[in-house]
């Protein structure tokens, strides 16, 4: 007599041989070309910044795990991703001690207080970036010239600034390394405050100043495509963000072209590509339902343009993603599909 057992369980019924460390490790692989181009563009200061922020994130993760009596969780690669992404959102010449503080704040405030991986509401890298933007507003907006001479043999002077000391003047240093006409302003700042537009080809290729990893839109797209092909990223999230940016900037540009740049400029400038591909698509902080993903993406895209145009800051992707993360539980609750066969609730008298 054959003993047969029928096992009943909820979806998913077909599972892929992928776990969290595997997915996270592939995200690190996807980020490595962006890091390599940032080092090629800005030199060893970026390499040092990536190392410091990553070590700060790993050390903070291990400290809170040890304090809570939890096993070592560094093998899931999530803190490594946070450290790399955080460095890519910072200026290339950002002082290293400030980068270390950003890494500590990102893990402590953005992850550990919520209970660790899988429980955090906000993207930890953006939490760390928001922390240093509030604490060090001058340093976070100080640019570095791209492709300056000697970038592989010397640090940007502000990189090695000691704690609580004023960093050297970047403009004066730029003259010494023969970078003519360097203003330190990003393409978004140039357009917002000086009404100077940057050529789309420069935005697409990365021949502009900006945060360490946000300059080359084509490279970021290709690295994100790697994760999409491996089915390790929900491609609909960045797609809906792009739709939100194009639609909102298109309407505002038609209304007032002097105040709002054209949609292509809005799409390829600043940290939009990096944020849309690698931060907004975080599995923990993004909605689960198809309608929720659409609302989430359109919300982030629209808020990014509104903050850029009407806010006091030239960039808006960071706050747009954080607001999208905060709205995710509400979006998920609002867009939950009705159970099959369930009747609508009757309103009480």
Residue-wise pLDDT tens digits, 14-34: 555 677 889 999 999 999 999
Q: What is the pLDDT of residue 12?
A: 54
**pTM: predicted TM-score of the whole model, two decimal places:** 0.88
Residue-wise pLDDT tens digits, 290-342: 999 999 999 999 999 999 999 888 888 999 999 999 999 999 998 887 766 66
Q: What is the pLDDT of residue 127?
A: 95
Q: What is the pLDDT of residue 345?
A: 63
DSSP state of 34: H
Nearest-angstrom CA–CA distance, 128 and 104: 7
DSSP 222-237: HHHHHHHHTT-S-THH
Could you tell me if residue 21 is inside a domain?
Answer: yes
Could you tell me if residue 58 is inside a domain?
Answer: yes
Residue-wise pLDDT tens digits, 49-101: 999 999 999 999 999 988 888 887 788 899 999 999 999 999 998 999 999 99
Could you tell me if residue 333 is inside a domain?
Answer: no
Higher pLDDT, 256 or 180: 256
Q: What is the pLDDT of residue 169?
A: 66
Whether 280 shows a pLDDT value over 80: the answer reads: yes
Sign of the CA dihedral with 145 first, then 147, 148, and 153 last:
positive
Q: What is the pLDDT of residue 81?
A: 95
Pick from 111, 44, 63: nearest CA to 282: 111
Which of these ranges, 119-128, 183-192, 250-259, 288-297, has the smallest mean pLDDT? Answer: 183-192
DSSP state of 339: P
User: Residue 57: enclosing H or E segment and its boundaries?
Assistant: helix 44-67
Q: What is the pLDDT of residue 274?
A: 94
For 68, the domain range is 10-183
Could you tell me if residue 292 is inside a domain?
Answer: no
Pick from 111, 144, 141: nearest CA to 128: 111
Q: How many domains does the chain have?
A: 1
Q: What is the pLDDT of residue 142?
A: 81
Pick from 271, 339, 237, 18: nearest CA to 125: 271
- Confidence class of residue 6 from pLDDT cuts 50, 70 and 90? low
Could you tell me if residue 293 is inside a domain?
Answer: no
Could you tell me if residue 280 is inside a domain?
Answer: no
Residue-wise pLDDT tens digits, 324-335: 999 999 999 988
Could you tell me if residue 229 is inside a domain?
Answer: no
Residue-wise pLDDT tens digits, 112-162: 888 877 788 899 999 999 999 999 988 888 878 888 888 898 898 888 888
Could you tell me if residue 84 is inside a domain?
Answer: yes
């Amino acid at each position: 007599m054959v003993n047969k057992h029928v096992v009943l369980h909820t979806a998913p019924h077909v599972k892929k041989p992928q776990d969290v460390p595997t997915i996270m490790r592939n995200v690190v692989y996807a980020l490595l070309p962006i890091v390599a181009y940032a080092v090629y563009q800005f030199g060893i200061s970026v390499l040092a910044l990536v190392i410091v922020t990553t070590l700060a994130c790993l050390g903070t993760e291990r400290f809170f795990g040890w304090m809570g009596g939890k096993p070592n969780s560094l093998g899931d690669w999530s803190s490594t991703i946070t450290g790399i992404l955080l460095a890519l959102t910072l200026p290339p010449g950002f002082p290293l001690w400030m980068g270390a503080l950003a890494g500590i704040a990102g893990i402590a405030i953005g992850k550990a207080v919520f209970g660790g991986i899988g429980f955090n509401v906000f993207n930890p890298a953006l939490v760390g970036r928001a922390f240093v933007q509030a604490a060090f507003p001058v340093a976070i907006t100080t640019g570095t010239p791209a492709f300056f001479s000697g970038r592989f043999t010397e640090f940007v002077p502000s990189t090695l600034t000691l704690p609580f000391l004023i960093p050297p003047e970047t403009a004066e240093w730029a003259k010494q390394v023969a970078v003519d006409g360097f203003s330190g302003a990003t393409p978004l700042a140039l357009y917002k405050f000086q009404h100077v537009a940057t050529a789309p080809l420069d935005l697409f290729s990365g021949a502009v100043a900006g945060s360490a990893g946000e300059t080359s839109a084509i490279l970021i797209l290709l690295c994100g495509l790697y994760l999409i092909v491996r089915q390790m990223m929900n491609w609909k999230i960045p797609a809906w963000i792009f739709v939100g940016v194009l639609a909102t900037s298109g309407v505002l540009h038609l209304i007032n072209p002097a105040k709002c740049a054209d949609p292509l400029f809005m799409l390829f400038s600043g940290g939009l590509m990096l944020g849309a591909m690698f931060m907004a698509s975080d599995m923990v902080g993004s909605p689960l339902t198809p309608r929720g993903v659409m609302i989430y993406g359109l919300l982030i895209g629209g808020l990014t343009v509104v903050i850029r145009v009407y806010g006091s800051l030239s960039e808006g992707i960071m706050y747009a993603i954080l607001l999208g993360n905060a709205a995710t539980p509400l979006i998920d609750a609002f867009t939950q599909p009705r159970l099959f066969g369930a009747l609508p609730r009757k309103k009480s008298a």
